[in-house]
Every structure is written in C-alpha cells, then in structure tokens.
C-alpha cells in the first residue's frame, strides 16, 4: 500500500493573515512540501497540471524533475496529466525523460481535467473530450512499447516510422493510472490495458465513486488481468490534522469556509457527508480505514494537504503529522485487514522483474539501421566508416 500527497498548486488569499502567495512563493513552497514528504517517508508526491490562474503547475515535468534532484526515495506522479490537450508524442517524450532523471521513481496519472476553457486554449473541442482521451492514450501506450510506430487517427497528423526518444528507462514504460470520477469509458480503458484506476475521493458524498471502481474491477477481471480484487485502485482524500480534534477544526475552518469553491458551505457538514477528514490522527486514521471497508483493498492513497491558502509552515506540519502519526498506523492496520493475493502498487523495480525476471534489462541505443524520424534514412549512411563504427546497434 502506497501513501502520499498530491498538490494542485492553487493560490488564494490567506483568510487569517490576508497574505496571498506570489507565484514564485507558491512554486518554492510546493518543492518544500515534496521534500518534507520524502523526509518523513511518504511513498508518493503527485502534482496536478493547470493552465489557468489561480494555479501554477503548468509544467509538471519541469517541477517534478527539480523535485527528483532534491529527493532520495519518494515516487513522483501527476494528478493529472491532461491527456486531452497534450500531444501524446510530447507526453511520451517528456515523461520518459523525467523517468530517466528520476531513476525510475515515476509513474503518471492521465485524465481529462476539470477546466472547460483549456480545450480551446490548445485547439481542442471539449465535445470530443472522451474520444480524445481514448485515442491519445492508445497512441501513448504504443509509443512507449514499440520502437517504430506507424499510426493514423482522428485528432493529430499521422506518424510514419516514428520513434519516440528517449526510450523508456530499461525499456519499461512508467506505470499509468487513469484518473476519472464520472466516465465509464475511462474506467474501461484502464481495465483493458491492465492499468491502474484512480478515483479522486474528495468533494463528493461518501462512497460516491464506488460504482465506477466496481465497474473497473469487473472489467479488469473480464480482460484477464487477474481477479477483480487484484485490480489496481487508487483513491484521493483531503485531511487536516492536529493533536486534538477541536484544534484541527478550529484551525482549518477559516481556510475551508472562505475558499472560493467551498464558500457558503459548512465544514461540519462536509466532514460528515464527504471523505474530508479533519481531526486528531486517530480520527483521520478511522476515516481512511472506512475507505478500505467501502471500496475494498486498494493500492494507493493520496491526500491533499497544501491547498486552500494554507501557509507553508502549516502545510509542512500537516505532512509531518501525516507521515509520522497517521501513515505508520494505516500501514499496519490496512495490511492486517488485506485479503490474500492482493498485489502491491506497481513500481519500476516490480515492472522490471515482471518483464525480465533475472535477465538484464534492455538498454535501447540509437540504431543507424532503423532510420530516423525525418527522412527514414540512416543519419550515418554518408559518414566516414570509422564514425559509423562508433555508434553501436540497438540491443
């Protein structure tokens, strides 16, 4: 079971102090939060992708590459990578590069996002959102697994003899989660490929997403990837922790009830009706254990901790409490309740072992016999023979 945090990189006025972080402050603070998550032993740090104010993470690969250089063990991910408005060729290239820089500490979550205007900003039609997501992932899947791709679809120019570079580290693509809270077609696609399915278990009523998770589990088994209980499921969550529950509620209330999307809402009502958990470490533990009871055994739990205009000092304290007071107990309790045969979340190491066993992983190299993406001819065919000999063929 993996536990971690995700950030959407939002900016809003602090309702207590009146301070609004600059973009530079917010970006720097996201990095600090990720570093603290690594230091306290959390498993995953995930970053959203947004192209509109008041959010700053328009280039998650850039920020995550910086985080990779500053951390030692935490896995990096996204929440989500916009599959509909990004070119799948660029996703293949950028995340393969990030996978190399992170030494395999990377997977990604793909999805459609929830910002309507982003579609025309990138020349796309929101009415084609589901079709774009399905087609773009189908191409991404091939780009990471085939050295040479011939492809033609509805939404981008055809590819002829195309090779995405760099190839995935050890010729093993990053594991992919499909994030969706409303679309059976996305759950179906995740199941078809044997990928993970992530339901961002926030905002909506308790267990609201269980029908989609159950559908994904059934289809995962249908496609022969394992039993429904072996499907790879992730859930979101939102929490605020203090040693005493009354202190947690008192401190969090102004941030929740003054945040734009919650304005006019009651914190107490949200705590009762939704997966939001505000309270002592034990109360957050109990609420999270109810996810396992409702959704079944799952592999990844991510919490939103640094948003809603929380000052960075408070966000860092939240990460500390989660990593030291909450997650150690959740690891023990969830492991004790876990049914036999439920797999762990895939990692780069486990995917290497699955593909190669005890053999050495393949290390792709430029292959002058394969041709190039521009002309289809060898880039070295007119070169000096000694120069040609210095470029080894692909393994």
Supply the pLDDT for residue 201.
87
Cβ–Cβ under 8 Å, residues 229 and 297: yes
Of residues 369 and 207, more confidence is placed in: 207
* pTM of the shown model: 0.93
Coil/strand/helix, residue 193: helix
**Domain presence at residue 242:** yes
Of the candidates 390, 346, 341, which has an alpha carbon nearest to the alpha carbon of residue 368? 390
Coil/strand/helix, residue 31: helix
**Domain presence at residue 41:** yes
**Domain presence at residue 289:** yes
**Domain presence at residue 331:** yes
**Domain presence at residue 221:** yes
Which tokens belong to 177? 């989660």
What percent of the chain has a predicted confidence (pLDDT) above 90?
89
The CATH code of the domain that includes 116 is 3.20.20.30
Supply the pLDDT for residue 387.
41
Condensed to tens digits (0 to 9), the pLDDT of residues 308-324 reads: 999 999 999 999 999 99
In this predicted structure, the answer to whether residue 159 has a pLDDT above a threshold of 80 is yes
**Domain presence at residue 395:** no
In this predicted structure, the answer to whether residue 293 has a pLDDT above a threshold of 90 is yes
In this predicted structure, the answer to whether residue 46 has a pLDDT above a threshold of 50 is yes
In this predicted structure, the answer to whether residue 121 has a pLDDT above a threshold of 60 is yes
Res. 393 pLDDT band, cuts 50 70 90: very low
In this predicted structure, the answer to whether residue 391 has a pLDDT above a threshold of 50 is no
Containing domain of residue 231, as a range?
2-364
Supply the pLDDT for residue 101.
98
Res. 261 pLDDT band, cuts 50 70 90: very high
Q: How many domains does the chain have?
A: 1
Which tokens belong to 315? 């966000």
Sign of CA dihedral 292, 297, 302, 308: negative
Supply the pLDDT for residue 367.
72
Res. 90 pLDDT band, cuts 50 70 90: very high
Q: Angle at CA 52, nearest 5°, toward 101 and 20?
A: 95
In this predicted structure, the answer to whether residue 183 has a pLDDT above a threshold of 80 is yes
**Domain presence at residue 176:** yes
In this predicted structure, the answer to whether residue 375 has a pLDDT above a threshold of 90 is no
Condensed to tens digits (0 to 9), the pLDDT of residues 60-70 reads: 999 999 999 99
Supply the pLDDT for residue 142.
98
**Domain presence at residue 192:** yes
Supply the pLDDT for residue 167.
97
Condensed to tens digits (0 to 9), the pLDDT of residues 206-245 reads: 999 999 999 999 999 999 999 999 999 999 999 999 999 9
Supply the pLDDT for residue 115.
81
Condensed to tens digits (0 to 9), the pLDDT of residues 26-40 reads: 999 999 999 999 999
Supply the pLDDT for residue 226.
98
Q: How far apart are CA 263 and CA 253, in angstroms?
A: 11
């Amino acid at each position: 079971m993996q536990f971690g945090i995700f950030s959407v990189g939002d900016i809003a006025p602090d309702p207590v102090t009146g301070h609004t972080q600059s973009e530079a402050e917010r970006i720097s603070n996201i990095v600090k939060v990720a570093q603290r998550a690594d230091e306290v032993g959390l498993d995953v740090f995930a970053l959203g992708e947004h192209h509109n104010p008041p959010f700053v993470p328009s280039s998650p690969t850039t920020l995550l590459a910086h985080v990779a250089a500053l951390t030692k063990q935490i896995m990096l991910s996204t929440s989500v990578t916009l599959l509909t408005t990004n070119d799948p060729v660029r996703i293949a290239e950028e995340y393969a590069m990030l996978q190399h820089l992170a030494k395999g500490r990377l997977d990604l979550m793909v999805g459609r996002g929830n910002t309507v205007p982003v579609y025309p900003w990138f020349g796309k039609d929101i009415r084609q959102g589901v079709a774009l997501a399905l087609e773009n992932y189908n191409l991404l899947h091939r780009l990471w697994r085939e050295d040479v791709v011939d492809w033609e679809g509805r939404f981008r120019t055809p590819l002829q003899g195309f090779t995405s570079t760099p190839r995935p580290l050890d010729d093993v693509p990053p594991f992919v989660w499909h994030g969706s809270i409303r679309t059976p077609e996305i759950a179906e696609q995740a199941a078809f490929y044997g990928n993970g399915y992530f339901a961002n278990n926030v905002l909506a009523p308790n267990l609201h997403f269980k029908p989609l998770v159950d559908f994904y589990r059934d289809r995962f088994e249908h496609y022969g990837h394992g039993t429904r209980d072996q499907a790879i499921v992730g859930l979101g969550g939102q929490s605020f922790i203090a040693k005493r529950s009354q202190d947690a509620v008192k401190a969090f209330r102004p941030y929740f009830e003054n945040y734009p999307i919650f304005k006019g809402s009651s914190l107490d009502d949200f705590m009762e009706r939704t997966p939001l958990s505000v309270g002592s470490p034990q109360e957050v533990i109990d609420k999270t254990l109810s996810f396992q009871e409702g959704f079944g055994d799952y592999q990844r739990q991510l919490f939103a901790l640094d948003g809603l205009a929380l000052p960075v000092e408070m966000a860092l304290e939240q990460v500390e409490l989660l990593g030291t007071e909450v997650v150690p107990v959740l690891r023990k309790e969830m492991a004790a309740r876990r049914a036999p045969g439920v797999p762990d979340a895939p990692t780069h190491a486990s995917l290497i072992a699955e593909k190669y066993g005890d053999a050495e992983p393949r290390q792709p190299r430029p292959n002058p016999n394969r041709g190039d993406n521009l002309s289809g001819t060898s880039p070295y065919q007119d070169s000096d023979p000694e120069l040609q000999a210095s470029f080894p063929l692909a393994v």
